[in-house]
Amino acid sequence: MPDSPAVAPQFTSASHRDETAELGMWVFIATEVLLFGGLLLAYFVYRHAYPQGFVTGSRHTEIVIGTANTAILLTSSFLVAWAVEIFSAETRRLTAGLLTGAICLGLAFILLKGIEYHREYDEHLVPGIDFRFTGSLANGVQLFFIFYFIATAIHALHMIIGIGLLAVLALLCRAAPSTRRRAALHSVALYWHFVDIVWIFLFALIYLPGRSAS
């Protein structure tokens, strides 16, 4: 496996460099946890204040699309993990192929999300733009949908960044699968899995409540 010739002078070896990069990625993920953490606090505070409104709002979300998107994202994470596992010079085509698969699944996720947004717009459920919901629960439902749109939009933004990074990695791995690329792929994979984990929780908080009560 060809290695990049020079290691930046602050590192003693390529493995030193790569381990440092991975540590950096974990620090970044800790940062991201707290970014979504602020939203989570808001969610729990308002769910506590408006339990019925949140259940009702939740029942207005598209659980079919939500479930499909969860499966799509879990599968794309699996493909990325697979690509990391088999990464080598001989398998570079397969690696690039797996990453391309993950990218396609990511795009499918975004597409479905767009369809979902559109349906919610048609149902007048977009606060600030077109929100019509009457009755005593209107406030709680509106707060729920504000959370829904902000959280899923920020998550989708992370997805788009992740898709871009995966695309760059797919091209790079195809061209020259050095150990340096391996470290980069590893970092991007960590990021992608993290975005997956965020969605796992958003799914549980947004789509699942209130399904049993009829």
Q: How many CB atoms lie within 10 A of CB 158?
A: 19
Q: How far is the CB of 127 from another protein (least distance, A)?
A: 5
Give the shortest CB-119-to-another protein separation in angstroms. 19
Q: Which of 26/175 has CB closer to another protein?
A: 26
Nearest distance, CB of residue 128 and another protein, angstroms: 3
Our CB check for another protein shows the closer of 69 and 163 to be 69
- How far apart (Å, rounded) are the C-alpha atoms in residues 95 and 86? 7
Q: Of the two residues 159 and 189, which places its CB atom closer to another protein in the complex?
A: 189
Query: Minimum CB separation from another protein for residue 42, in Å?
Result: 6
CA distance 41 to 57: 18
C-beta closer to another protein: residue 100 or 139:
139
Residue 186 is inside which H or E element, if any?
Answer: helix 179-206
Q: How near is the Cβ of 2 to another protein at its closest, in Å?
A: 15
The CA distances from residue 161 to 21, 46, 50, 202, in Å, are 19, 30, 34, 18
The distance of closest approach from Cβ of residue 118 to another protein in the complex, given in angstroms and rounded to an integer, is 18
Token digits of residue 135 = 């009755």
What secondary structure does DSSP assign to 113-138, as a single string?
HHHHHHHHHHTTEETTTEE---STTH
Q: How many CB atoms lie within 10 A of CB 104?
A: 14
Identify which of residues 100 and 127 has a Cβ nearer to another protein in the complex.
127
Concatenate the DSSP letters of all residues of 77-113 into one string.
Answer: HHHHHHHHHH-SSTTHHHHHHHHHHHHHHHHHHHHHH
| CB 5 within 8 Å of CB 166 | no
- The residue among 134 and 213 lying less far from another protein, judged by its C-beta, is 213
